[in-house]
Structure formats: C-alpha cells, structure tokens
Structure 1
Amino acid sequence: MTLPPVDIVLIGRNEGARLVAGLASVLADGTARQVVYVDSGSTDDSVAEAVRAGATVVQLDMSMPFTAARARNEGFAALEAPELVQFIDGDCTLVPGYLEKARAFLAEHRRIGMVTGWRSEIHRNASLYNQLADFEWHRPAGEIMACGGDMLVRAKAFRAVGGFDPSVIAAEDDEFCTRLRKAGWQLHRIPEDMTRHDADTHRFSQWWKRAIRTGHGFAQVNALHPDYFATECRRVMIYGALLPLVFVAGLMIYLPVALLALAAYAFNYARTTQGLIREGLREGEAMRHASLITLSKIPNMIGLATYHWRKRRNAQMRIIEYK
C-alpha cells in the first residue's frame, strides 16, 4: 500500500537551540516531503537557522495579534497540495520512526481525521514543573477527545473545519479537536513516542503564568463550546473563587467557616495525591504534583476572569507568555 506524503509545520518564537534540534530531527527522520517553519517575531537566529536547514520560512505579520492557531494556519497555507500534515511546536524534537507509524495508521483508518502519540520532557527531572508537564503529556492511547499541538492531521479534515481558530489564545488545539469531532471525524492517540519537549520551566513565576493561560483557555473554549471544559471551569470557580471568598469571610466573621474552607482544600489535595499514585507516580512525587495542581486553581481563576473581562470590554485576546 502506497502511503500518502507527510508535510511538517513547525511554529516558534525565539526557540534558539531548541528549534535547531527540532529541525534536525525532522530532516534526519527523512519522511517529510515539505517542511515549513512559521516564525512569530523572533529576535534571535531562528529564521536564519530555519533557512540554513532548508525549511520554507513564513514570518507572521506582527502588526496583528499573534496566536499559535494563526501560526499553524499560515504554515498549512504555505504547503503545496498537502495530504497529511504533522504540526510540531518549535521546542520539540521528532522521535525517529513516528511519522511512518502515524501515517500508516491513518491510511488504515479512513474515519480518523487526526492522530497523535506521546510527548515527553527531555529534561523531566530538571524541575518539579517539568515533571508535572511530562506527566500531563502521557495520556492513555485509544480514541480521544483532544490533544496538544503536536498532531498529524488529514488536510481534508483540516480544510473541512476551517483550520484553527486564530482568535483562541490558549487551548486552541482543544478547540480545533472539538470541531473535528463535531464534524464527524474520530481522533486517536497511538501508543508510540512522538515528540520530545523542552519545557524549560524552572521558576514558580513561569508555572504561575502558564496556569493563568490555562484558565484563559478553559474559559474561551468553553464559551465557544459549552459542552467542553465545563467541569474544569466549575472546578476553577469553586476552588479558585468560592472557597477563597468563604475563607476570607470566615476570618472576618466566623473562624470555623474559614477552617472549613481550608479543610476542603486539604481534602482536594489528598484526593488528588491518591489519584496520581493510582496513575503510577511515586508517593513523594505525587504529593509535590498535587500541591501545584491544588494551587493552580487560583491562577486558573485569574485567567478565567481575564477572559471574561476582555470579552466584556470587547478587548483583543492577546497571548499570555510564560517563557
């Protein structure tokens, strides 16, 4: 069976050595027919390195608000007659052999519009934040509702839903996947290593900003698709807004109420820890991860509120950078 060609779209901004490694991994794999790099206003040597590697370079018009969704769309538009397109973030490297397995899977399953694999962290133990990201990436294989930005998509499916929504500044991959499913396509994760990611997150402030961005994504995608991220938004409202208000009110009016709010957080932390242990994390690591997951509802709430404040004022949805 002749397999359809695969084209690559990488997106990035000031990724430096990470982009060089990503381009090298794609070229070394040898499967890709076309390689397009979309640059979002880099001030380092990213564009020059992409040209040197032989990629077609698209430089976004930075007079317009940048989003990863817009970058992926412009990368797709620069391809000539694509059939299968692998999107990769510029801070990732491609695992050798993955593209062959992924495109063979799509060739065998015509109703599947998108396939993804497993992403992992290159420097998993460099920080707690990297560990948490690595755990988030490794989800079960099989039919899925959505995935992150590294994905192999049928060009026909991409065109049918109009690509990514360029107005979505975070969780744009979830929003895109939701429209694919609503259009009748199935999405699948195969049990294969796909990409290695370099989160390069070492400071609490970076993690905090990333969590704010996540909350913004929850709110914006939920506004577009009320059936998606509904649970996440409810959880953020409870643990990021309601319980803090109850705690403060209890301190001012009746102390046992404040203690009750703290008990709710303690219960949530314990339940999260046990859940992470059941999923395979060692106890100490699970406890540390659970601390961040429990705390994350506060910055998530800031992101959720930011989205609704922007929407109320009809303001532009600008990206929230954490690196």
Structure 2
Amino acid sequence: MSAPAIAAVVIGRNEGERLIRCLRSLQGQVQQLIYVDSGSTDGSAAAARDLGAKVVDLDLSRPFTAARARNAGLAALSSRIELVQFADGDCELDPGWISAAADFMQTHPRAAAVCGRRRERFPEASVYNRLCDAEWNTPVGEATACGGDAMMRVAAVYTAGGYREGLIAGEEPELCLRLRRAGWQVWRLDAEMTLHDAQMLRFGQWWNRSRRAGHAFAEGAALHGAGPERHWVAETRRALAWGAVLPAAIAAAGLASPYLLLAALIYPAQVLRLSRRMGTEQALFSVLGKFAEATGALEFYWRRWRGTARGILEYK
C-alpha cells in the first residue's frame, strides 16, 4: 500500500514555548502543518509561521471553541490529505506516533480515529497534574471516544459533519459518537502518543476544569442522551446526585434535626469505597469533583432555559 498523505492540525491560544515544542515535534513527519490560533497575544502565530506552519487566525467576532478551531484547520487542508493528526498546542508528539498510527489506519479501513497514551510532562508538579496523567491512561483496544490528540481519517470526519462548533468541551466524544453511528471505529493503541503540559498548579484551575466537564456532560446528554448509547446520561446523573441533590437534601434534613447532618458521612464513606479501586488521592478528588461538575451542569440547564450560550471556559 502506498503511504497516505498526512497533515497535522494544531490548535492553541497563548501556549508560548509549549507550542514551539509541539510544532517542532511534527516537522518532517507530515506533508502539511497547520496551526489554528484563537486570538493569542504572545506571538504564537508569528512563531508558528517561522517554523513553517500555515497559520489560520480565527475570527475574533465569534466565540472561540476548540471544535471551531479544529474545523478551521480541516477546512485549510489540501485536497490530497487522507489522514490528519489533531493536537493541542500544549502537547509534544512522540517521535514514533505518526508512523504507528498511520500504519494502523492503513490496516484497519473502518478506523476513523486512533489515539495512544497521552502523558503529563510534569506529573510530580502537583496533585492536579497527577490526576490528569491518570485520566489519560484509558484502556487499550476499540474505544468509544478519543481526546483532543488523535489521528483521524479526513473522509470519515467530513462524512460525519465535522466537530460541533458550539460545544465548549466534550467535542471529541460527541464526534466519535456520530462516527460510530455511521459504522466507523475508534481505537486506543498501546503506543506513546503525546506529552501534555496541563500546568495545573492551583485548586481553582482544577475546579474550573471539573466544572467544564460537568457542563459537557449535561450538554452531551441533552444532545444524545435519548439515543441507545445514553451518551453521558450516567455521568450527568452522578454529578447532580452527589454534587447537588444529596447536599441539598442533607442540608434540608439538618434544619429539622441537627443529628441528620450526620448523613454527610456518606461522602467520606464514598471516598473509602472508591479508594479500593483507584487509590485515596483519586477517590478524594473524584468525590470533590462532583460538586464542581454539578455546578457546570446546572449552569448549562440555566443558560439553556434562558436561551443563552456559554463562552469558552479556560482553566490555565
């Protein structure tokens, strides 16, 4: 089989040195290198041009989303491109990933997207970076979704209609759901793919990221929850149950009798239960994260009722 034409679409906003590392890791590995900039003010666009990337500057008059940026990158691809490697600007590609992913795509014609192991560059820098590193360690094999770093078959993405631009998060799982409904496959390979620099050092950053996840859960369930996949219905229900309904019920019961506030012990009990499976650190933040996720989900419902959309929610 002849080698497929491969491009890379990198998206970013004020990523600085991280973007330079990302683009350099792709030089010489792809036939077309595109960088989509979402209003950076740190010279990212100029640096990308100096490294030989074609730069697409998003229109400042419309809200930025990663989905919109990836679609803009797709639109800039040459017609001969068959495979596209998507990457976030804070990631560095492993030297062997492009060839490994392309080989898999050639031998698996129904594969629309493949991803590998994303790792945190500095997991020791904070508990929040360690949590990210654990989150990236998804099961190997056929999967339901990929993340922002993935190689995709251009024809499959176009057939599915591309990314849903209005989503502020969760755009990859939503696209993967539509791809799978169309008969395509998504795979997680047992191969190193990217080094990611979350640079998440403060509790507030982690809270905003978890809040964004809750918003994505609720919006994803609103879009596709009625389908056979029950897309993110369980995740939304867990967030609302543990992060909103149960605390409200305990507080209301405490008004009747202070002794009923002891029901709040269900939270440390849940941490202990989960720690047997995922360790104490992950269990603690999994339970805490439900409060942030519930906040994000409730914000989605509030805005939907009012007929307004939320802009991008950044944590860096």
Q: Which residue number in structure 2 is paired with residue 165 of structure 1?
A: 164
Q: Which residue number in structure 2 is paired with residue 263 of structure 1?
A: 265
Q: Which residue number in structure 2 is paired with residue 108 of structure 1?
A: 107
Kept in 1, the 8 Å contact 2:114–2:146? The answer is: no
- Quote the offset at 1:42 in angstroms: 0.3
| 1:248 pairs with one of 248, 251, 255 | 251
| 2:29 pairs with one of 28, 31, 40 | 31
Q: Which residue number in structure 1 is paired with residue 299 of structure 2?
A: 306
CA distance in 2, matches of 1:59, 1:146: 28
Q: Residues 1-323 of structure 1: matches in 2 within 5 Å?
A: 1-27=1-27, 30-81=28-79, 82-226=81-225, 227-260=230-263, 262-276=264-278, 286-323=279-316
Structure 2: give runs of 5+ residues left out of the alignment. none
SS of corresponding position for 1:54: coil
- Provide the aligned length of Structure 1 versus Structure 2: 311
- Quote the offset at 1:289 in angstroms: 2.1
Deviations 1:110-153 (A, max 9, x none): 11111111100000110000000000001111000012111111
Q: Which residue identity lines up with residue 146 of structure 1 in the other structure?
A: A
- Quote the offset at 1:157 in angstroms: 0.4
SS of corresponding position for 1:296: helix
- Quote the offset at 1:23 in angstroms: 0.7
Q: TM-score, normalised by structure 1?
A: 0.94
- Quote the offset at 1:263 in angstroms: 2.7
Deviations 1:75-98 (A, max 9, x none): 010010121011000000000011
CA distance in 2, matches of 1:311, 1:251: 32
Q: Which residue identity lines up with residue 158 of structure 1 in the other structure?
A: V
CA distance in 1, matches of 2:115, 2:208: 26
Kept in 2, the 8 Å contact 1:38–1:60? The answer is: yes
CA distance in 2, matches of 1:247, 1:318: 33
- Quote the offset at 1:247 in angstroms: 1.9
CA distance in 2, matches of 1:192, 1:311: 40
SS of corresponding position for 1:32: coil
SS of corresponding position for 2:31: strand
Deviations 1:164-193 (A, max 9, x none): 000111111111111111111011011001
Deviations 1:187-217 (A, max 9, x none): 1011001010000000001111111101000
CA distance in 2, matches of 1:221, 1:205: 24
Kept in 1, the 8 Å contact 2:113–2:146? The answer is: no
CA distance in 2, matches of 1:214, 1:229: 11
Q: Percent identity?
A: 45
Q: Which residue identity lines up with residue 32 of structure 1 in the other structure?
A: V
RMSD between aligned alpha carbons?
A: 0.9
CA distance in 2, matches of 1:271, 1:125: 26
CA distance in 2, matches of 1:150, 1:182: 21
Structure 1: give runs of 5+ residues left out of the alignment. 277-285
Q: Which residue identity lines up with residue 52 of structure 2 in the other structure?
A: G
Kept in 2, the 8 Å contact 1:246–1:258? The answer is: no
Kept in 2, the 8 Å contact 1:112–1:186? The answer is: yes
Deviations 1:16-44 (A, max 9, x none): 010011111111xx220100000000010
Q: Which residue identity lines up with residue 266 of structure 1 in the other structure?
A: P
Q: TM-score, normalised by structure 2?
A: 0.96
- Quote the offset at 1:250 in angstroms: 2.5
Q: Which residue identity lines up with residue 269 of structure 1 in the other structure?
A: V
Kept in 2, the 8 Å contact 1:246–1:257? The answer is: no
Q: Which residue identity lines up with residue 51 of structure 1 in the other structure?
A: R
SS of corresponding position for 2:113: strand
Kept in 2, the 8 Å contact 1:167–1:317? The answer is: no
